[in-house]
Amino acid sequence: MKKLVVIGGIILFAACQQQENKLTQTIIDPNDTSEMALLMRDMFFQLEEIKQKILLGEDIAQEQLNFELIHTQTPTDESFLKEGLVPMSTAYANSIEAFNKQPSSKNFSSIVNNCMSCHTQLCPGPLERIDNLIIEK
């Protein structure tokens, strides 16, 4: 039993590593990218833009984020749809809502923390990339 869990973990990790390595390749051919992966890229780029504005001291009071719920998207691999995805996806959606109510650097960081905690548990491959969204104090 224990062995199975370990093997499952390795397969999942490999799938997520592959995602990261495939990044440049899939930009050339976006058709083999899952709905969920496309959503992730969109979120990454939109958040990166807001991060830049925060760093430049621009006004972000009018920024609003609107994403599909992560757990309703089709993933590359069904193993992503395991227990824990829905609560983490919901927590993430709540952090987006809090940001929309009050767009601030603090609420931005709370979104990024939610990206990190789901990825730490489900999909560690892109963590290094998500690190770029952290605002250094």
Who's near 10: CB < 8 A, 6+ residues apart?
Answer: none
Structure tokens at 33: 């990218």
For 1-137, strand residue ranges (E) read none
**Binder to ligand HEC among 50, 51, 103, 119 (CB under 6 A)?**
119
- Does 17 bind ligand HEC (CB under 6 A)? Our answer is no
**Binder to ligand HEC among 13, 17, 23, 63 (CB under 6 A)?**
23
- Does 36 bind ligand HEC (CB under 6 A)? Our answer is yes
- Does 41 bind ligand HEC (CB under 6 A)? Our answer is yes
In the complex, the smallest distance separating the C-beta of residue 125 from ligand HEC, rounded to whole angstroms, is: 7
- Does 19 bind ligand HEC (CB under 6 A)? Our answer is yes
Cβ distance 89 to 69 under 8 Å? yes
Structure tokens at 107: 């609420």
Check residue 19 and report its DSSP letter.
H
User: Quick one: which of 125, 94, 86 has its CA closest to 110?
Assistant: 94
**Binder to ligand HEC among 50, 51, 76, 99 (CB under 6 A)?**
76
CA angle in degrees (0–180, nearest 5) for 12-21-36: 60
- Does 13 bind ligand HEC (CB under 6 A)? Our answer is no
Residues making contact with ligand HEC (CB under 6 A) = 19, 23, 34, 36-37, 40-41, 43-44, 47, 70, 75-76, 80, 85, 88-89, 92, 111, 114-115, 118-119, 122-123, 126, 129-130
